[in-house]
Amino acid sequence: MKILVIGSGGREHALAWKLRQSSHAEKIFCAPGNGGTSEIAENVAIPASDFGALVRFAKENHVDLTAVGPDDPLAAGIVDLFAGEKLRAFGPTKSAARIEASKIFAKELMRAQKIPTADARTFSNSAEALCYCEQAKFPAVIKADGLALGKGVIVAADAATATSAIDEMMNQGRFGEAGRRVVIEELLRGTECSLHALVDGNNYLLLESARDHKRALDGDQGPNTGGMGAFSPADNWNSKLQARFETEIMQPLLRGFVQEGVKFRGLLYPGLMITSEGPRVLEFNCRFGDPETQAILPRMKSDLLPLLEATIDGKIDQCTIEWDERVAVTVVLASAGYPGKYETGKSISGLGDAAKLEDVQIFHAGTKRGGDELTTAGGRVLAVTALGATIEAARARAYEAVSHIHFENCHFRRDIALSAVTANIGKLS
Ligand code: AMP
Ligand code: GLY
């Protein structure tokens, strides 16, 4: 089969890497890909936003399956367009992608199905939102309704912070259309956990759990980022929570989709807060997590390709997944300045030595190849994953690999998975 992976991040490198291991994969293309995907696939210089060129490419090159990595093209209806051209694409339709692209749509669906989540009010009028702030309880969380590159969520300690966030979003158009409506919700306390499910319209199959590290600096300090590291399985997850998650969240969600007349086919990734009262939904994503994918896929022993196909064909109930029992730890190396304005064009060295280490896999994100030279070309540059029998072993190996890699002003967190070191992870009780 010929496969096209759309996107250019670490998640897409991990997807291409995993799909390439399939005995059914004859050729992999990445559009536009990065310096890592160019080594295992053919990079095609088409941005993920140029749907017309992507459709033409898929037709001319007889692509059998397209896997869409990022949320933006899904929210803009790329899968509908491909389907209209009789091209097979993995990912939800525009209507189904609203579960991530509109926090208000997601909240309403959760409310209708009594899915546990933060209590929330939604506003499309800024005067009403501002007035609500006068009597709301703080801290509270202000969220832009639409996609805002991960920057549309503000934890407001007091009414003044909330008021300025609302003003920026609703009156000053900080996120354009995405911020014209807002959700104001209670702050949930606990620890976060990322779940991934292949959903085929009727049934779902869960992947192993993972934990992301969203803040830029050690000790969960600094601004929120796309994710500075991850590990799988999550130390705060167990079979009791999973049973509750399935009955209180996944099953009602699927019922909600049916009632809305929406067929969700693709990867659904609920972001959860594990509170003292059980799992609560923070958000639903309609695509693989980044960097969670770089920690989860190296643990997947089964072939990913038939799983994607079964999802599209409504046959995920016929599938199972075999997992490596070992723990995976992924450390992200970022450019100076990330998640703000960051440096690019720095020469990267040491990857060869890092990659030689056993049980290490290096995924590229913001890298570019020019002749023999590999340079930085994005905020998150590389994701280094190591497998280990214990969390300590996986961490030690991941950081050993990181120590071989150099580029000017590289920054990374030194505490990825540290909180899990003493926990009994990997054993669902
Ligand atoms: P979201 O895009 O809704 O997942 O929000 C991004 C991040 O903001 C989450 O991963 C959490 O770290 C944080 N967050 C969002 N909503 C809440 C909430 N109600 N309580 C606490 N933290 C939240
Ligand atoms: N790691 C967070 C996300 O993919 O949204």
Same-domain pairing of 273 and 349 = no
Task: Give the number of domains in the chain.
Answer: 4
Domain boundary among 135, 165, 186: 186
Same-domain pairing of 231 and 289 = yes
Domain span at residue 278 reads: 191-318
State the Cα–Cα distance between residues 48 and 70, nearest whole angstrom.
8
Domain containing 129 — which CATH number?
Answer: 3.30.1490.20
Domain boundary among 161, 186, 211: 186
**Does some domain include residue 114?**
no
The finding on whether 152 has its CB within 6 A of some atom of ligand 2 is no
User: Among residues 408, 358, 344, which one has the least CA distance to residue 35?
Assistant: 344
**Does some domain include residue 108?**
no
Q: Which residue puts its alpha carbon closest to atom 3 of ligand 2?
A: 289
Ordered per-residue pLDDT tens for the chain, 429 residues: 999 999 999 999 999 999 999 999 999 999 999 999 999 999 999 999 999 999 999 999 999 999 999 999 999 999 999 999 999 999 999 999 999 999 999 999 999 999 999 999 999 999 999 999 999 999 999 999 999 887 889 999 999 999 999 999 999 999 999 999 999 999 999 999 999 999 999 999 999 999 999 999 999 999 889 999 999 999 999 999 999 999 999 999 999 999 999 999 999 999 999 999 999 999 999 999 999 999 999 999 999 999 999 999 999 999 999 999 999 999 999 999 999 999 999 999 999 999 999 999 999 999 999 988 999 999 999 999 999 999 999 999 999 999 999 999 999 999 999 999 866 544 444
Ligand 2 center–CA 226 separation, angstroms: 6
Report the interhelical angle of 103-113 vs 251-260 (nearest 10°): 110
**Does some domain include residue 104?**
no
Domain boundary among 164, 186, 208: 186
Predicted confidence at residue 427, as pLDDT, reads 47
DSSP states of 21-81 as a string? TSTT--EEEEEE--TTHHHHSEE----TT-HHHHHHHHHHTT-SEEEE-SHHHHHTTHHHH
Same-domain pairing of 334 and 398 = yes
Predicted confidence at residue 428, as pLDDT, reads 43
Same-domain pairing of 346 and 309 = no
Same-domain pairing of 251 and 228 = yes
The finding on whether 100 has its CB within 6 A of some atom of ligand 2 is no
Domain containing 408 — which CATH number?
Answer: 3.90.600.10
State the Cα–Cα distance between residues 425 and 429, nearest whole angstrom.
10
From the CA of 150, give the closest atom in ligand 1: 2
State the Cα–Cα distance between residues 334 and 296, nearest whole angstrom.
20
Domain containing 249 — which CATH number?
Answer: 3.30.470.20
Proximal ligand: closest to the CA of 103: 1
DSSP helix/strand/coil, 160: helix
Ligand 1 center–CA 97 separation, angstroms: 19
Same-domain pairing of 182 and 196 = no
Predicted confidence at residue 372, as pLDDT, reads 87
Same-domain pairing of 140 and 201 = no
**Does some domain include residue 277?**
yes
Predicted confidence at residue 13, as pLDDT, reads 98
Same-domain pairing of 161 and 65 = no
Same-domain pairing of 78 and 123 = no
**Does some domain include residue 155?**
yes
State the maximum Cα–Cα separation within the chain, in Å, rounded to a whole number: 61
The finding on whether 359 has its CB within 6 A of some atom of ligand 2 is no
State the Cα–Cα distance between residues 287 and 264, nearest whole angstrom.
11
For residue 256, what are the CA distances in angstroms to 112, 140, 282? 8, 27, 17
Same-domain pairing of 385 and 406 = yes
The finding on whether 179 has its CB within 6 A of some atom of ligand 2 is no
From the CA of 118, give the closest atom in ligand 1: 19
Predicted confidence at residue 424, as pLDDT, reads 52
Domain containing 19 — which CATH number?
Answer: 3.40.50.20
Ligand 2 center–CA 372 separation, angstroms: 32
State the Cα–Cα distance between residues 264 and 251, nearest whole angstrom.
13
**Does some domain include residue 103?**
no
Same-domain pairing of 254 and 285 = yes
Q: Which residue puts its alpha carbon closest to atom 5 of ligand 1?
A: 153
Same-domain pairing of 215 and 282 = yes
**Does some domain include residue 408?**
yes
User: Among residues 95, 105, 186, 93, which one has the least CA distance to residue 145?
Assistant: 105
